[in-house]
Amino acid sequence: MIVQAIPTFAMSCFKLPMGLCKDIEMQIRKFRWGEHGDQRKIHWKNWETLCKTKADGGMGFKDLVKFNEAMLAKQVFSAKYFPSGSIFNAKLAKGSYAWQSILKTRQAVEKGMIWRIRDGKKSRIFYDNWIPGVFPLKAAARSQEFLDDSMVSSLIDAETGEWNEQMIEQLISPFLVQRMKAIPLCKVSQEDCIVWPRSSDGNYTVKFGTTHQKAAAPKWQPPPKDTYKINYDGAVFSKSEEAGIGVVIRNERGEVMATLAEKVNKPSGGVEAIEAMAARWAILLAVELGFQQCVVEGDLEIVF
């Protein structure tokens, strides 16, 4: 609709107030259901349903708050004017409202992007997403004492240009060792680059960004102080004899400390069996990495 297209340019430069976005959406809803002035009509579908794609039973309307954030995130992903650093390290203290609006969306990009490893000199082992998989992963340290700001290049043999397997096995959790070794390294000297793994060409698009935001909005509650929360889930793929397991460990501030995502053979016990398997893997991962004070949380209950 035209009214949705009008603020597009402004949304690519500024973070619009949430109240303004909601007011625009309200006018769209009124127009959609034929309301005029004080005359009210029945809204046969809620706004969340209308914002779904037509393939999913919606009308393809935009959630303007998420669309605004996705437009700004595209500016973050495309930023190239940092000769001595990165936009992800830029300070938020000063600058215009447009600049502050763009910087506030960095977190959304960081969660979905992945570093493509070439020489490993721009990617941090334990704090950047660089391990491909079902979703991008940071490396999980075998022990908390190994956590530091080391770059991925320190895991590459300078003479052969291949992975230093001995060092990887010494520092990294066994759950990720084979996946890391499978990452091909560039034989020609090139810098690491950021890609968006959900697109075919590696570039960020507003469509993918909006979808990522909708999928990345779980209602997560932090654990008590000095405690880690372990969330796990299992899924069965109906069209194959496979199942999937996902685990994420966060601290009290919501910062991701470790993750795990694997495909496994579908167990005979169905969904209950894969959930139990996911819980077991979650606990094994926590023990392996040295996390002691933990809350383990699945879909249905919390186990202390």
Residues of the chain with CATH 3.30.420.10: 228-303
Crossing angle of helices 64-78 and 206-215, in 10° steps, is 120
Mean pLDDT across 163-184? 87
Residue 50 backbone phi and psi in degrees, to 5 = -65, -25
Find where tokens 């069209």 sit.
239
pLDDT value at 59 more than 60 = yes
Q: How far apart are CA 191 and CA 52, in angstroms?
A: 39
Long-range pairs of 93-100 with CB within 8 A, sequence gap ≥ 24: 97/14, 97/15, 98/13, 98/14, 100/15
pLDDT value at 301 more than 70 = no
Mean pLDDT across 197-201? 77
* CA angle (93 as vertex; 88, 96 as ends), nearest 5: 90
| pLDDT one-digit tens code per residue, 209-219 | 776 665 554 56
Q: Does the global pTM surpass 0.75? A: no
Least confident of 18-22, 41-45, 231-235: 41-45
Backbone CA torsion sign across 113, 103, 93, 89: positive
CATH class of segment(s) 228-303: alpha beta
3-class DSSP state for residue 229?
A: strand
User: How confident is the prediction for the chain on average, in pLDDT?
Assistant: 80
Percent of the chain with pLDDT over 70: 81
Looking at residue 72, its pLDDT comes to 87
Crossing angle of helices 18-32 and 64-78, in 10° steps, is 130
Percent of the chain with pLDDT over 90: 13
Least confident of 34-43, 93-102, 110-119: 34-43
